[in-house]
């Protein structure tokens, strides 16, 4: 079973999964596995961290234009503070956001991993803002400031 079909069974009919990677760090075999799992691979431009982060954030920020109330799961080994600020703003505007630091060996999540991730979004699947979710407050790399209240 693919990640897309698991999410569909959980009530998310439209699913788009994107992996942002550097071409020189991504083998043809990895690319094939991602495509088999219906994960779109977007190759990042080589260059500095600002170019990389801007490339990803522009895509993610545009999601609410295409999907009025999307859910966003971000798996990253490292998260810049500016990116967390962007995701925090999206969260406060009704986008379901979950930030998660990945383990070094993580490549393609298996079916059980997809279920565990989507389970965290059970209150988001109907595209409604949760009553009380502090997914951003639990971000590993940059917890929110104490004065910031994430609950609605």
Asked if residue 33 belongs to a domain, the reply is yes
145 is a domain residue = no
How many domains does one find in the chain? Answer: 1
Q: What is residue 69's predicted lDDT score, i.e. its pLDDT?
A: 66
| CA–CA separation, 84 and 22 (whole Å) | 21
Using the predicted structure, report yes or no on whether residue 102 has a pLDDT greater than 60: no
Q: Is residue 92's pLDDT more than 70? A: yes
Is 28 domain-assigned? yes
Neighbouring residues of 81: CB distance < 8 A, sequence distance ≥ 6: 142
Can you give the residue range of the structural domain that contains 75?
Answer: 3-119
Q: What is the pTM of this model?
A: 0.54
Does a structural domain hold residue 58? yes
13-72 residue pLDDT tens: 777 778 888 888 888 998 888 888 778 888 887 777 777 788 888 888 887 777 766 777
**129 domain-assigned:** no
- Asked whether residue 147 is assigned to any structural domain, the reply reads no
| Residues 129, 145, 116, 35, CA torsion sign | positive
Q: Residue 139 domain-assigned?
A: no
**Statement: residue 103 has pLDDT above 60:** no
Task: Please check whether residue 19 lies inside any domain of the structure.
Answer: yes
Question: For residue 108, is pLDDT > 80?
Answer: no
122-151: pLDDT as tens digits: 444 444 434 334 444 444 444 444 444 344
The CATH number of whichever domain residue 12 belongs to comes to 3.40.50
């Amino acid at each position: 079973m693919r990640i897309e079909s698991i999410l569909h069974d959980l009530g998310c009919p439209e699913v788009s999964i994107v992996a942002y990677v550097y071409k020189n760090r991504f083998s043809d075999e990895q690319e094939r596995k991602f495509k088999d799992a219906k994960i779109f691979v977007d190759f990042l431009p080589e260059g500095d961290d600002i170019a990389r982060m801007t490339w990803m954030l522009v895509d993610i920020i545009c999601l609410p234009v295409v999907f009025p109330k999307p859910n966003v799961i971000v798996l990253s080994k490292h998260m810049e503070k500016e990116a967390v600020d962007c995701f925090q703003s999206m969260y406060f505007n009704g986008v379901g956001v979950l930030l998660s630091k990945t383990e070094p060996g993580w490549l393609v999540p298996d079916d059980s991993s997809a279920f565990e991730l989507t389970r965290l979004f059970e209150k988001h699947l109907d595209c409604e803002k949760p009553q009380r979710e502090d997914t951003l407050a639990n971000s590993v790399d940059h917890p929110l400031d104490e004065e910031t209240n994430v609950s609605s």
